[in-house]
Amino acid sequence: MLTAITVGMILLGAALGAGVAWLLLRGRSPRSGGSRLAGLACVFAGAGAMHFIVTPAVVDAWATDRARSELLAIPVYAVVEKYEPVVFERLLAEYKLVVRDRSRTDLSTHMMNAELGAVATQHIAHASDSALLALMHDMLDKLQLLRTRAPEDCYRYLFPKGAGPADLGRWFDRDSQAHTLGLIAEVIRTSSENPVAVPPRTVVEPLLSPLVNEMYAQFGENTALLSRAEERGVSHATVCNIATTLYEKVMRLPPAEAAAVIRSMTQL
């Protein structure tokens, strides 16, 4: 499609050039060699102008429209456009590069997933209990699988900013990833429309303290690795295991208590 637009604009430029030539030469003899040369020059000039001036603008407009249409066909991006328009514009600019060059798909997917993950993290503290817990259960399912099969991807899933994004496409099919995006959409939507307050520490500490004690009983001083998980030299597999175990313990709490603890943890 992109090639077709470029070629089409060159041909249109040639046609406009020919039209200009006709206007310039309509009063002169068609047998004049100079006239023919002038007409040919106008044709090439028109084609060149269309290719270097008009075509880029047309292609850019086409890529923007196509990128917007394809993104908004996925519900999470419609939610982001509504509630996080600045983030959406960044995502749109990135995806527009994919529309123009499909070989960038993998690279842009990693970047866009990281952006969506960051947005979800910002919103999860104020999402509804049901939206928050659904996303956390989905995340825990992924962590448990990655802990067993790919500890490095498990670590990257937890800490993508420093280590780079996990290769989720290797482990989870498109339906699974689409399901996660739908859960992220609900977190953003509910936190924007009906934000839930983060509970006070006096409510959360009695819930969190026993979990911390259990973690130290199980992992000893390694539990403290979570506070410096992104430092150089830290065992990524160990951090993955400790973090996944902590989330397992939190998600075994009654739903309202688990939601309260998660909200509090996002504020630490």
Both 156 and 227 in one domain: the answer is yes
Q: Are 185 and 75 in contact (CB under 8 A)?
A: yes
Task: Sort residue 233 into left (φ over 0), alpha (ψ -120 to 50) or beta.
Answer: left
Measure the CA–CA gap between 240 and 164, rounded to whole angstroms.
Answer: 15
pLDDT band for position 237 (50/70/90)? very high
pLDDT at position 160 is: 80
Q: Give the phi and the psi of residue 127 in degrees, each rounded to 5.
A: -75, 165
Would you list the DSSP string of 164-213?
Answer: ----GGGTS-HHHHHHHHHHHHHHHHHHHHSPPPPPPHHHHHHHHHHHHH
User: Within a domain: residue 97?
Assistant: no
Both 143 and 17 in one domain: the answer is no
pLDDT tens-digit readout, 242-259:
999 999 999 999 999 999
pTM value is 0.75
Both 140 and 222 in one domain: the answer is yes
pLDDT band for position 5 (50/70/90)? very low
Domain boundary among 46, 63, 80: 63
pLDDT at position 44 is: 56
Buried b (16+ CB within 10 A) or exposed e, 161-177: eebebbebeebbeeeeb
The amino acid that residue 146 corresponds to is L
Q: Give me the chain's average pLDDT, please.
A: 81
User: Within a domain: residue 73?
Assistant: no
User: Within a domain: residue 104?
Assistant: no
Both 131 and 59 in one domain: the answer is no
Both 142 and 256 in one domain: the answer is yes
Domain of residue 6 covers 1-24+33-63
Measure the CA–CA gap between 13 and 78, rounded to whole angstroms.
Answer: 37
Number of domains in the chain: 2
Both 133 and 12 in one domain: the answer is no
Percent of the chain at pLDDT above 70?
Answer: 78
Other Cβ atoms less than 10 A from the Cβ of 255: the count is 12
